[in-house]
Amino acid sequence: MSFRLVRKFCNSSSTHVPRFLSSPFLILRSISVRNNLLPTTRTSHFHASISRCCPSVDSQTHTENTSRPVIESVLDSVVKVFSVRSQPSIIVLPWLNPGEASTGSGFVISGKRILTNAHVVKTHEDDSSYVQVKKHGSPTKYKAIVEAMGDECDLAILVVDNEEFWEDLIPLELGDIPLVYDTVSVVGYPRGGETISVTKGIVSRVEPRDYCHSSAELLTIQVDAAINKGNSGGPVFMGNKVAGVAFQGLKNSENINYVIPTPVIKHFLSGVEETGQYAGPGLPDITCQDMGNAQLRKHFKMNHEMTGILINEINPVSDAHKVLKKDDVILAIDGVPIGNDQTVPFRGKERIKLNHLVSMKKPGEKALFKVLRDGREHEFNISLSSVHPLDKVRLHDQSHYIFAGFIFVHLTSSYIDLSSGAICRCALKRMPEKASQQIVIISKVLLDKINIGYCSLENLQVKKVNGEEVNSLHHLRWLIKRCRTEDLRLDLEKGKVIVLNYKSAKEETSLILKRHSILLDVSRKLDDTFHHVYYEKKKVPHQKEVDDVDRIQE
Q: What angle do CA 188, 192, 197 make, to 5 degrees?
A: 25
Torsion of CA 208, 210, 212, 218, to 10 degrees: 40
Backbone angles phi, psi at 106, to 5 degrees: -165, 175
Phi, psi of 75 (to 5 degrees): -60, -35
DSSP 3-state assignment of 280?
coil
Residues recognised as catalytic: 119, 154, 232
Checking 412-418 for CB contacts under 8 A at 24+ apart, the result is: 412/90, 413/215, 414/90, 415/90, 415/91, 415/441, 415/443, 418/90, 418/91
Cβ-proximal residues to 484 (8 Å cutoff; 6+ apart), any chain: none
Residues 345 and 301: beta-carbon distance below 8 Å: no
* Beta bridge partners of residue 145, listed in sequence order: 159
Q: DSSP class of residue 349?
A: T
CB-based contact 435:416 (threshold 8 Å): no
Report which residue type is found at 129. Answer: S
CA-angle at 155, arms to 149 and 161, nearest 5°? 60
In whole angstroms, how large is the CA radius of gyration of the chain? 28
Q: How far apart are CA 269 and CA 248, in angstroms?
A: 20
* Upper half-sphere CA count for residue 485 (Cβ side, 13 Å): 11
Asked if 156 and 120 count as a contact pair (C-beta separation under 8 A), the reply is yes
Instruction: Please count the CA atoms within 13 angstroms of the CA of 501 that sit on its side-chain side.
Output: 7
